[in-house]
Amino acid sequence: MPLAENLAAIRAAIHAAAKEAGRDPGGVRLLAVSKGQPVEAIEAAYAAGQRDFGENRAQEAARKFIQFRTSHPDIRLHLIGPLQTNKAADAVRLFDVIETLDRPKLAYALAEEMRRQDRHPDLYIEVNIGHEPQKAGIAPESLADFLTLCRGELKLPVRGLMAIPPLGDDPALYFRKLAALAAAHDLAACSMGMSGDFKTAIACGATEVRIGTGIFGARNQH
């Protein structure tokens, strides 16, 4: 299917899932995950009305978006992959939302860069919601202390939480847990749900779903 049709189908599915959950469809943002996709695909999505884009590597995002965002200043670029401390400056310069704040060292580095550049992308904290040793994210039980550091001491603009649930388990359990954590800490944004499980995520309270293959089709491997 052409990209514009994929996008329309995903938008319709988001709308229906929100309605079914008794939620305002306007409360769910669609993030088009363009990792592994060429700039032409991003242009096609933009032409079809898409404005939020997600990339998981700062370097790839810089290559594809530095020019694109100059000519399309109304896009919002989200970082959804791991961020090394030594790339904090690039990330603050390039992204409008950084969804993978997951450790104190990175919080300090981002605070320093935001001060230096006087640029303040929104931040989400990534939570390791399934306690998976191989996965990034702060442990759920450490979230309260980490928030105290980020919001209290460092005055970082933390707006939400992000998570990827464990594979092969019922994602709803984890989505509900993430939504409850966001509510308990007064965080408005809850980034959860991908191509395979976004309807469940919306039923559980997602305010943002991150969809790659459902919009763009298969990715080139990098």
Ligand X SMILES: *Cc1c(COP(=O)(O)O)cnc(C)c1O
Residues that bind ligand X (CB under 6 A): 33, 35, 56, 80-81, 164, 194-196, 210-214
Strand partners, 122: 97
**Cβ proximity to ligand X, 181 vs 192, nearer residue:** 192
Minimum CB separation of residue 59 from ligand X in Å reads: 15
Amino acid at 31: L
Residue nearest to ligand X (CB): 212
82-96 burial code (b ≥16 CB/10 A, e <16): ebeeebbbbbbebbb
Helix, coil or strand: residue 163:
coil
Task: Give the contacts of 208 (CB within 8 A, at least 6 positions apart).
Answer: 28, 29, 30, 31, 52, 160, 189, 190, 191, 192
Minimum CB separation of residue 209 from ligand X in Å reads: 9
Minimum CB separation of residue 31 from ligand X in Å reads: 8
Q: What is the DSSP letter of 118?
A: T
**Cβ proximity to ligand X, 205 vs 214, nearer residue:** 214
- Distances in whole angstroms, Cα of residue 72 to Cα of each of 5, 98, 130: 22, 19, 37
Minimum CB separation of residue 216 from ligand X in Å reads: 8
**Cβ proximity to ligand X, 164 vs 190, nearer residue:** 164
* Count of Cβ atoms closer than 10 Å to residue 147 Cβ: 19
Minimum CB separation of residue 56 from ligand X in Å reads: 5
